[in-house]
Structure 1
């Protein structure tokens, strides 16, 4: 009565004998599709149990659907003789997952080696490969490709002197996608790799991409036979951020209207702003269901699962600072009861920067103690003034990566630190928080905080990743008695759990799914 076949993500169901009851059971599934050419119903793998339950309710107990193994992709054969690099087993398995599913997300925790995993997979697909990544990572991708192969392929890094025609691998940053749209379209990449894929997360309440890079990336993804999304943080703090990624890989949830997705998984509700009501999709709901639906399309391994890395320990350390100017700014902030959200943000950032500057002497002293004991330290901050002060102290004994550091200088700075030429690495949390390895250090100091929890995880994993052979310590310094930083410290760990609950499939109780910024505003105004 029912012929069943399975491909990477769907059951293919074809009725060998028409039965209206069977038909109605299939048509009642939310994400089923019909292929008229093959007279076949396509049912996502995650709807298997739902369909079986419907069959049983109407007495079709003889109908069965095969169990779906999570490791079906392991049977794919790889030609590892192509590579000079020696991948870990989890990277080999990850490459097989990408090839098997064709359009999917590799969401391994940061530090697990997603770049090499994707290179191995893409190398097995004939035709041009296109890598889209942040501008700061273009040169690193080229280096990884060159060092991966026994015979390095032709690489073209767009908008650099290393841009060439008829390459096998093309590398472009998100910000110049529009400039190279025609070239990319005519090249017809067989494989599209979106690195740090959360860069395309912006979506409007109407369901359209809310940034040019997201719009262009989705357009390219639609025409690429293989689409690999790489991100250690597929959502930064909320399910809304996952929607464009699901569209890029043609997940069934990416085909539903965003309004329906938002109501179901983003705790969509109307809120009053001024005199009008608008929809708010910043929350989270039905998280377990969302995880189950996404799971067949996303491979997520933590470092503890795949690599014998030593533990990472966070230390939140209060330091004493002069709070008089901060308290004045806090009083001014609290007195502006009618301030707009933008005005509030300006005042809060001013307080945060003031405290960042106040902590500089403690950061320097603590760094000197660690250098004396361990020989190296990594320091992260969000502010130019902090970087300038640290450079003034450590001078030729430190290297810096901030937003003004060109690509080739980034790699020189990393190598100088890793090779032991200097003892101190100072990085801007946004500019240096991804794509580099600083495992010579066993300790890191976070001088000040970002509003987004995932940014801190990215920074931490510069030293806690492959090739690290020691326990690592992350020291978060906060100003004792400064409400804004005490609230940040209290909120940070809770917010990281929200990310883990969705990505890793465990929903923690009593975790509020609002942004850190919103939490801080509420706590300060109590």
Structure 2
């Protein structure tokens, strides 16, 4: 007895379904035509016969249910037989090639049949229902081909959908793309890659030392992998690639496949990513980007790789072109499209503004990581690129999600090539030299960090100039009174905590650790409560008080030096500034978060191309990335951000490749308020990136602690010092 699913040698095939229904023939000729030849043994001739029969019937519509069953069964068995042949280690190379060629012949015939009757395409889908009649007929066909059918269990009841699955969609174009390639098997070559087995480092905690190595071992050593000399990279007429951009493209052409491209904003990361994908033949390519820049990505595809077609996913993807070379989707709709994106057969993936995924618990981070995992499972060595000019926002742990997306680590340990590189150092985390070696091992995986000052000599310098302003009158008095109220509340919390210490006496001086805990509690209460005066409402009131002064200064700049970019954080501050410009007779454009991509593009074009439009009023959060405003060389920051990265991104809208003038960012700061302290803290935030990525000496940089928390700690300690607690 043959085992289920295996051939049964010597079985007669007089009951072959391929012969049923065909006209009977008489005489000795008929007997000779039915005589089996050795070449006809096996399943493939049976499938070919049924396919010919189906083809003949399809030419004489209408299509009957029995024909649809035969078509589906042949398609199923072609897939299964292909998989069996590929896995059969007893076959010679020639025999395997011959059998695969025969199967391809049957598959081609099925494709021609489906072209005549497109309703049959639905039967080729992976999730197409297989009826009981089809299962029975499949068993009959297998026996006719010399195979023992496997007993198939009834399909399990549908499982409860995972959270968020009910939102997922599969655009019609994507279904058409799948049907056009129904027999295309995924690439499982990745499974054959060498897997690192920890030997000396087995049992060691490695992730924490890896992260810490970027804080303690970076002095004097920029975080940039060795890059090859730039090669000639073909670019469209009228485009020019700079040397530092060509280096990344050359690295991709030589086979490097994972990049954390952390060049400072303005150095052309989009062009580098698109040309690297072209050099690596990483098509189709998936691009995940913020909503405000996804249309710009499609525009850049047309500029740098004009022979490649881009499609942008909007909403449920009704207009998406699944046959395009580059698919562009924004973070906010990944929950709807993560399913089909993971199975689409992408050979490359680019995550723009990758610091958006730094919070691993967020939905967008989880979707990005899941899609990348599925691409790696189907494709050997895909091109994976994370683009961000500010990879570190608050803490060195911001690296974690980006490294995991690139496949360098998982939740617990380094993976693959990184683990092997650590093994090859011959060191363990107990060795003093481990930090420097570990840092370099991670960098060699694909960190690329270049500063404008280092690689682009023709980009003029930039400076941040502070403009202190006095908040006079009732508004100024009200803000200062609010600060005093907040300081008294912090002092009250601090003293209550001191008194609550069991058995504790009165200590001299300020307990800084306790001050931080008090400030953290206040910050949490401020975030949780919608009403009442707190640090956030106070900063907003300061912004409102500065709005007119900042707009007046921007108006003066516009009249004296030309176009000006005006950044604000809150809508009411933007409204007040725009009213000021209107009153002064200054034409302006506006870029806000609630605009459609077309409106945004129209307003950017007006500012860039219309000489009468002198000012563009921008939202810090909506216009801080993805737009080019280099026609201006002066920028006014009417409100301060909570992060150094956000401020830097705003400035780099004008300080970028193509800028011909020195760039000045004018920060309007309310003197004698918490605004001044926030400005100092924002400046200190530059230390984290400088130490971790740019190789700055540790003594030259400040702590990377949270600005909001430090601002409150400073307010509390100043108030305590004023009361004589020293």
Same fold per superposition (TM over 0.5): yes
1:244 aligns with 2:401: yes
Whether contact under 8 Å (1:316, 1:475) holds in the other structure is: yes
Deviates more, 1:302-311 or 1:336-345: 336-345
Secondary structure of 2:335's partner? Answer: coil
8 Å contact from structure 1 (residues 113, 466) kept in 2:
yes
8 Å Cα contact 1:287/1:502 also seen in 2: no
Residue aligning to 2:642: 451
Alignment-derived partner of residue 391 in structure 1: 578
Number of positions where the alignment pairs a residue of Structure 1 with one of Structure 2: 438
Q: CA deviation at 1:479?
A: 0.7
Does residue 413 (structure 1) correspond to residue 603 (structure 2)? The answer is yes
CA contact 1:84–1:147 (8 Å) conserved in 2 = no
1:207-218 equivalences under 5 Å are 209-218=360-369
Per-residue displacement from partner, 1:217-240 (whole Å, max 9, x unpaired)?
011112331111000011112111
Structure 1 residues 87 and 503: CA distance shift in structure 2, 3 A: same
Q: CA 1:105–1:250 in 2, change beyond 3 Å: closer, same or farther?
A: same
> How far apart, in 2, do the equivalents of 1:478 and 1:244 lie?
35
Whether the 8 Å contact between 1:376 and 1:424 is mirrored in structure 2 is yes
For residues 522 and 257 of structure 2, the distance between their equivalents in structure 1, rounded to whole angstroms, comes to 46
Question: Are 1:341 and 2:520 matched, yes or no?
Answer: no
- Specify which of 241, 265, 287 is matched with residue 110 of structure 1: 265
Quote the offset at 1:257 in angstroms: 8.4
Residue 155 of structure 2 corresponds to none
What does residue 472 of structure 1 align with?
663
- Superposed, 1:151-230 pairs within 5 Å as 151-159=307-315, 163-202=320-359, 209-224=360-375, 225-230=382-387
2:466 aligned with 1:316, yes or no?
yes
* Cα gap change, 1:370 to 1:154, in 2 (>3 Å): closer
| Counterpart-to-counterpart distance in 1, 2:448 and 2:578 | 41
Residues 13, 198 of structure 1: CA spacing in aligned structure 2 closer, same or farther, 3 A cutoff?
A: closer
SS at match of 1:310: coil
Aligned to 2:623: 432
**SS of match in other structure, 1:342:** helix
**Partner residue of 1:87 out of 228, 234, 241:** 241
How far off its partner does 1:162 sit? 5.1
Residue 388 of structure 2 corresponds to 231
In structure 1, C-alpha distance between the alignment counterparts of 2:366 and 2:232, rounded to whole Å: 33
* Rounded Cα–Cα distance in structure 1 between residues aligned with 2:435 and 2:638: 33
SS at match of 2:361: coil
TM-score (norm 1): 0.77
- Partner SS state of residue 256, structure 1: coil
Aligned to 1:328: 481
**Residue of structure 1 equivalent to 2:632:** 441
* Larger Rg computed on CA atoms: 2
Deviations 1:264-321 (A, max 9, x none): xxxxxxxxxxxxxxxxxxxxxx986774343212001111122121000111121011
**Cross-structure match for 1:61:** none
Matching residue of 2:693: 503
Residue 150 of structure 1 deviates from its aligned partner by 4.1
Q: Shift in Å at residue 387 of structure 1?
A: 0.6
Root-mean-square deviation over aligned CA pairs: 3.0
Corresponding residue number in structure 2 for 1:144 = 300
Closer/same/farther in 2, CA of residues 360 and 31 from structure 1, 3 Å limit = closer
Per-residue deviation, residues 223-266 of structure 1 (Å, max 9, x unmatched): 331111000011112111110111111225865289xxxxxxxx
Structure 2 residue ranges without an equivalent (≥5): 1-193, 208-212, 214-223, 376-381, 416-433, 494-520, 718-726
Query: 1:82: how far off?
Result: 5.9
Alpha-carbon distance between aligned partners in 1 of 2:567 and 2:403, rounded to the nearest angstrom: 32
Q: Judging by fraction of residues, say which structure has more helix.
A: 2
* In structure 2, distance between residues paired with 1:521 and 1:178: 37
- Mapped partners of 1:501, 1:302: distance in 2: 13
Q: SS of 1:179's equivalent?
A: helix
Find the counterpart in structure 2 of residue 375 from structure 1. 562
Select 1:359's aligned residue among 536, 542, 546. 546
Match of 1:305 in 2: 454
User: Residues of 2 paired with 1:291 and 1:454: CA distance?
Assistant: 23
Structure 1, unpaired ranges of 5+: 1-11, 15-22, 33-45, 47-68, 203-208, 259-285
Equivalent residue of 2:628, what SS? coil
TM-score (norm: length of structure 2): 0.56
